[in-house]
Amino acid sequence: MKYIVCEKPGEFILKEKEAPIRKENEALLQINKVGICGTDLHAYAGNQAFFTYPRILGHELASEVLEIGENERGIKAGDKVVVMPYVSCGKCIACTHGKTNCCTNITVLGVHGDGGMQEQIAVPADILLPANNLSDDQMAIVEPLAIGAHSVRRAAITPGETVAVVGCGPIGIGIMKLAQIAGAKVVAIDMNEQRLEYAKEKIGVDYTVKAGPDAAQAIADLTNGDMCTAVFDASGNKFALEAGPSYMSHGGRFVLVGLSKGDLTYNHPAVHAKEMTLMCSRNATTEDFEHVINVLDQFPTESFITHNVPYTEMIENFDSWLDPATGVIKATVDFTK
């Protein structure tokens, strides 16, 4: 079978190997489509944390079951399934408290172990969710939307709140729509005018603000000085992460979804005066995946996936997906062609 491996930063190779043989409690899957996410882009660029090479990337997967044994969800051969790519230990302090998304021994497909950029893969059967009602395109975006769903749930968004989302990339766009579904008004913040326009036209956010020194004042003007009761950072940019509290109301929450590799600095009197709640949001749980599957018909999947190529053309196209100027929001790789 064919597979694509990132041998080292900046180098993909299309190779061939024997198809995997599933073990007990595993399922053998046929991969139909793989979504490309920020983790994949950073791994290719050589600046992804927790990463070693060579590595088969890919954890946003649309797949079909080839072989599976008896399982609690009643999944059978021929079913379409969404893969929750986080393999947790079930025994650590996080897992025993229901936080499998931040298991102390977590292994993420395509990051700590090989992922789905291959024609077939064997995975634990308990990380699969039935998805016969979804298209391949929809299945391929459930995982990034689940990350957004987890952050919205962490922040306990309630109807009527005004929230800000910094970063109009795939994760940020997902947070915007899911916050809307939870009943919030949404302010989208980004440097990229094209992505702000997408957030306004396709997601239907209430307001857009260009990131920069005037952003806090713009939000103050929009909210009559109240600012936003919750601010989500989906950029991972150090300057954006440090600016986030200035968009937040007194008594508000600041949710770090994007990941920066360095230190962050905040003025303590300023954040203390607001009694800021600072929380991080990592990965997602089964509950988040199920929520996304249930509301996915409210998401503009067709416009969200801007680029799609067969796996035989992925290597020659990947560099272009690093450049926002190409208009890329979500790229996918098709293993059925």
Mean of pLDDT values over 47-58: 86
Mean of pLDDT values over 84-93: 96
Report pLDDT digits (tens) over 147-171.
Answer: 999 999 999 999 999 999 999 999 9
The DSSP annotation for 38-91 comes to HHHHHHHHT--TT--SSB----EEEEEEEEE---TT---TT-EEEE--EE--S-
Mean of pLDDT values over 192-199: 96
Q: Contact 258/242 with Cβ under 8 angstroms?
A: no
Tell whether the model's pLDDT for residue 48 goes beyond 80. Answer: no
Report pLDDT digits (tens) over 208-253.
Answer: 999 999 999 999 999 999 999 999 999 999 999 999 999 999 999 9
What angle, 0 to 180 degrees and rounded to 10, lies between the N-to-C axes of helices 136-154 and 286-295?
120
Largest Cα separation within the chain, whole Å, is: 63
Q: Contact 285/100 with Cβ under 8 angstroms?
A: yes
Mean of pLDDT values over 130-139: 97
For the ranges 181-185, 206-210, 285-289, 324-328, which has the lowest average pLDDT? Answer: 324-328
Count CB neighbours of 332 within 10 A: 20
Tell whether the model's pLDDT for residue 49 goes beyond 70. Answer: no
Report pLDDT digits (tens) over 262-302.
Answer: 899 999 999 999 999 999 999 999 999 999 999 999 999 99
Mean of pLDDT values over 119-140: 97
The DSSP annotation for 182-229 comes to TT-EEEEEES-HHHHHHIIIII--SEEEE-STTHHHHHHHHTTT--EE
In the chain the domains, ranked by start, together with CATH numbers, are 2-146+284-334 (3.90.180.10), 156-280 (3.40.50.720)
Label residue 50 by pLDDT band (50, 70, 90). low
